[in-house]
Amino acid sequence: MEKGGRRKFLGICLGGCVAGIAAAVLYPVYRYLAPRSGSGATARVEIPEKDVPEGEAKFFEYGGSSAVLVRKRDGSLVALSAVCTHLGCIVQWEKDTQGFLCPCHAGHYTPDGVVTSGPPPKPLTKLPFTVANGSIRIG
């Protein structure tokens, strides 16, 4: 056997054992700490039509995040993600001005989610919905 071959071989075996033990400890700890997705993420949300009167907005949980339904003055409905596209604060509905305001850095959006002023780079994400039998179904 070449010089030091045995030492090297045993060193590799030892390294392998240590790596194996480390993996056996770290994997369960990682799984324990990892956020658990899945539950509720794909669930649909149903909201009765009468909960969203004209000119008002209704906030709700959707897909693990916040969303909002607005009925504009013309009676049409819009469903949006309520997460500001700037740094992720939750926008607020301003009834007097009929628009969204993000309180964090004063981003303004129209009821359709289009940015009118402030730092947000993109409009609010639109969510798909259907209306049937007096109930609004999002998702």
119 binds ligand FES (CB under 6 A): yes
29 makes contact, choosing from ligand FES, other proteins, none, with CB < 5 to 8 Å by partner type, with: other proteins
Minimum separation from the CB atom of position 123 to ligand FES (A) = 13
**Of 68, 120, 124, 127, the one binding ligand FES by CB under 6 A:** 120
4 in Cβ contact with 12 (< 8 Å): no
DSSP 139: -
Question: What does the alpha-carbon distance between residue 26 and residue 124 come to, in Å, rounded to a whole number?
Answer: 39
Minimum separation from the CB atom of position 20 to other proteins (A) = 14
Positions in the binding site for other proteins (CB under 8 A): 28-29, 31-34, 36
Minimum separation from the CB atom of position 92 to ligand FES (A) = 10
Distance from chain centroid for Cα 121? 17
Q: Is 123 exposed, middle or buried (0-12, 13-18, 19+ CB in 10 A)?
A: middle
Q: Is 99 exposed, middle or buried (0-12, 13-18, 19+ CB in 10 A)?
A: buried
Closest CA to 68 of 93, 46, 43, 41: 93
From the list 11-19, 42-50, 79-87, 92-100, the region that binds ligand FES by CB under 6 A is 79-87
104 binds ligand FES (CB under 6 A): yes
Contacts to ligand FES by CB under 6 A: 84, 86-87, 89, 102, 104-105, 107, 118-120
